[in-house]
Structure 1
Amino acid sequence: MQASSSPTPEPSVEAWRAVASLYHAYFTGIVLFSVSRLGPARARELVYEIFCRQRRERFLPGLKKLNIDHLPPAVAAAQYHYLSNHIGGVSVEYMYESDRKAWIRYAAPRWIWSGTALCGIPPEVSQAMLLGWHAQNGSMLNNPRLGFVCTKQTVDGQSGLEGYYCEYESDLQPHERLRFARHEDAPDFEPAKAPQLPIENWPPARLAKAHRNYAMEYVRSAFPTALELWGPEEATHRLRMAAKMVGMQFYHEVAQGLGAGFAPDAAGFALFLAALGEAHGNPSSIERRGNACVVTQTGWAFREGLDEWVPELGLAWNGLLEGALYAHNRRIQMQFHAHESSSGTSVLTWTLQD
């Protein structure tokens, strides 16, 4: 099999959705792995720091991009979570009550803790997400009166994760920015009254790409956070272990999305790797070198823009493909190498041999 110089066909909508599914599962797997191996307290710390990172990097630019930065603080914060999660394919609702009070509700089934994973998430880990993001929106907006009130949590067996942004009469102390009011209940969602995005007019391909990027961004936030909290050795070990498990469990689902029909040999897995690279937006080629198949990928969508990085984290990410290989054919030998070209572009190679 020789490397092809002909243009690679545009990946299908199903291929982009397959990549989104893989990263979605990987993020949930990282959290569950942390809960089961390190305990709820350290998993809570990880989730809190991940959502702090996302808030710092995405909230204010997102308000401007969505053209809602001119709205009252409570309304702008609630609309941001509704619109941004809606783009990502999350089941989410928004209910306006006043300029100083606006609701947000993540309805069942929960995206972030999908399927039976919901049963393994401790309440304090779910709270960490609110503490890291929702409770801090007021400080990001330089409004010390804005807080978040949580009225339900799905991980407590309630009907969803819901609550409202409230602008109080006086400044809040840090511990007052998140409070719980389980006796309150969100009003009914009326789609016609919710803010609208042009995604209703987006073609399926653009929407599928948005879903892919949304899911990938969660893991892109988890990697530098784990590096910061655990150090290179422990972060690599834990992220790689979780990746292997997820890769094994989701290989067949992802392969089907990429086109299925991958023969259970080295050549078949080479085709899988190349298709997966293309679905990330990274050109990939395959060539035969003696008895081995070599896959070369130019560019690394997952790695781009992550300044907090050590080479070992590449091995952690590649754990997804190690796990996938176990499910494809555990007898195949695979070597992985990542380097930068003279132009600074990431180049990844996998050498596969039956």
Structure 2
Amino acid sequence: MAGPTNTSDEATWTRWRSVADLYHAYFTGLILTTVTRRGTADAAEFMFRIFRRQQQERFLPGLAKLGLSGLPPAVAAAQYHYLSNWIGGVSVEYMYESDRKAWIRYPSPRWIWRGTAICGVPGEVSRAMLRGWHANNGVSLGNPRMGFVCTKQSVDGQDGLEGYYCEYDHDLDIDQRLVFARHLEAPLFDPAKAPALPVDSWPKARLEKAYRNYAMEYVRTATPVAVQLFGPVDAGYLLHLTGKLIGMQYFDEIAANFGLQRGDAKAFAEFLGVLFAAQDDIVEISKSEGQFEIRQQSWKLMDGVADNNAACAKALQGLVEGLAAGCGRNIPIAMTPARGGALPFIWSIG
């Protein structure tokens, strides 16, 4: 059994949660930026590709990690969405009906469309998420008879996103893997009947880090998808602009959780050092003639991403520039990557 936590642990976890909030906001903002700058069709295609990529990379390994691999396909898929989203801090419900039918429900408020952001999300974009992930779980499980039936969408003014995994008596065509049945409604959620994580293998520290990584994973997936879909120039613009807007909006909230506040170049250098540490990035900070330099040796967010393009770093650059603007007016900030956009990144402040 784990012992009591200490003040140092709590401070670390608060910083991790702040990082999660920042990247959560960035991901939501990126979808909205795409909607407003490129239109609904491009945003829907972007959403589809993000969620299909995550589904292909994470679904089957996640089933094994959560101990769900031996369950009936519909039950395994629904329990996966319940547990994996619960770990990320998402409000989610699971209702078993039979071995061939299991419900999943995301009640209001929706995590992915936090606050007023939900008003800017077209229904087509939300449907693209379901096409990308939920509709493909049967394929991944090698079961062509399993599909997803969506009964509600919160962005359409209904009281949540919900639906059920269903194993039919026949193989499904591609356009039958996601269907809509708005006349149906999910049964009530009973927390006592929901699956739970084994406490021994999911202690507090692991849960807190998983909470942080859950939000960051969306950005890790979305940035290379944007570059592949829109090209480095157009994607770089979207990634950078979103970062700058989110950074400006969220500096005060993140800094308060770090125990810091607005100020000059020195204050921002301190803030950036804490932020990078909370992301598990290795940095070296030096000062010369009133100017601060942060040498970023690692960017854990994009470690191991095979199609990481130099344009992906525009997301980080925009985010840091926006945070600098939030910290104080006219704080000079410049980023110099190594040749080809590789590490280390050199941040000059002041």
Q: Note whether the superposition's TM-score is higher than 0.5.
A: yes
How high is the TM-score relative to the length of structure 2? 0.93
Matched residues in 2 for 1:290 and 1:312: separation?
31
Q: What per-residue deviation string (whole Å, max 9, x for no partner) do you get for residues 257-304 of structure 1? A: 122235x11111000100001101123332211221112233211121
The alignment of Structure 1 onto Structure 2 pairs a total of residues equal to 341
Q: What per-residue deviation string (whole Å, max 9, x for no partner) do you get for residues 36-91 of structure 1? A: 11111110000000000000100111111111111111011111111111111100
Report the residue type matching 1:349 in the other structure: I
Report the residue type matching 2:327 in the other structure: H
- 1:159 equivalent to 2:159? Answer yes
Matched residues in 2 for 1:76 and 1:203: separation?
23
Matched residues in 2 for 1:238 and 1:179: separation?
32
Contact kept? 1:103, 1:162, Cα under 8 Å: yes
- The change in CA–CA distance for 1:199 and 1:296 in structure 2 (over 3 A counts) is farther
SS at match of 2:301: coil
Partner of residue 349, structure 1: 346
Partner of residue 49, structure 2: 49
Contact kept? 1:11, 1:278, Cα under 8 Å: no
SS at match of 1:150: strand
Contact kept? 1:267, 1:293, Cα under 8 Å: yes
Matched residues in 2 for 1:9 and 1:275: separation?
15
Matched residues in 2 for 1:84 and 1:312: separation?
30
- How far is the alpha carbon of 1:12 from its aligned partner? 2.1
Matched residues in 2 for 1:72 and 1:201: separation?
23
Q: Which runs of 5+ in 1 are unaligned?
A: 1-7
Partner of residue 104, structure 1: 104
Matched residues in 2 for 1:317 and 1:288: separation?
22
Partner of residue 308, structure 2: 309
- The change in CA–CA distance for 1:319 and 1:74 in structure 2 (over 3 A counts) is same
Structural mapping, 1:1-354, within 5 Å: 12-198=12-198, 204-262=204-262, 264-339=263-338, 346-353=343-350
Contact kept? 1:15, 1:259, Cα under 8 Å: no
How high is the TM-score relative to the length of structure 1? 0.92
Report the residue type matching 1:60 in the other structure: L
- The change in CA–CA distance for 1:38 and 1:69 in structure 2 (over 3 A counts) is same
Contact kept? 1:87, 1:199, Cα under 8 Å: no
Partner of residue 5, structure 1: none
- How far is the alpha carbon of 1:201 from its aligned partner? 8.3
SS at match of 2:166: strand
SS at match of 2:346: strand
**RCO (CA 8 Å, sep 6+): is it higher in 1 or 2?**
1
Matched residues in 2 for 1:337 and 1:9: separation?
34
Q: Which moved more, 1:160-169 or 1:302-311?
A: 302-311
- How far is the alpha carbon of 1:9 from its aligned partner? 9.7
Give aligned-pair identity as a percent.
54
SS at match of 1:116: helix
Contact kept? 1:95, 1:102, Cα under 8 Å: yes
Q: Which moved more, 1:252-261 or 1:157-166?
A: 252-261
Contact kept? 1:95, 1:194, Cα under 8 Å: yes
- How far is the alpha carbon of 1:11 from its aligned partner? 5.5
- How far is the alpha carbon of 1:203 from its aligned partner? 5.2
SS at match of 1:268: helix
Matched residues in 2 for 1:307 and 1:327: separation?
33
Contact kept? 1:95, 1:190, Cα under 8 Å: yes
SS at match of 1:165: strand
- How far is the alpha carbon of 1:24 from its aligned partner? 0.2
Matched residues in 1 for 2:139 and 2:174: separation?
9
Contact kept? 1:13, 1:204, Cα under 8 Å: no
Which ranges of 4 or more aligned residues in structure 1 deviate by more than 6 Å? none
SS at match of 2:90: coil
- The change in CA–CA distance for 1:10 and 1:104 in structure 2 (over 3 A counts) is closer
Report the residue type matching 2:164 in the other structure: Y
Report the residue type matching 1:24 in the other structure: H
Contact kept? 2:223, 2:315, Cα under 8 Å: no
Q: Which moved more, 1:74-83 or 1:323-332?
A: 323-332
Matched residues in 1 for 2:29 and 2:161: separation?
20
Q: CA RMSD in A?
A: 1.9
SS at match of 1:58: helix
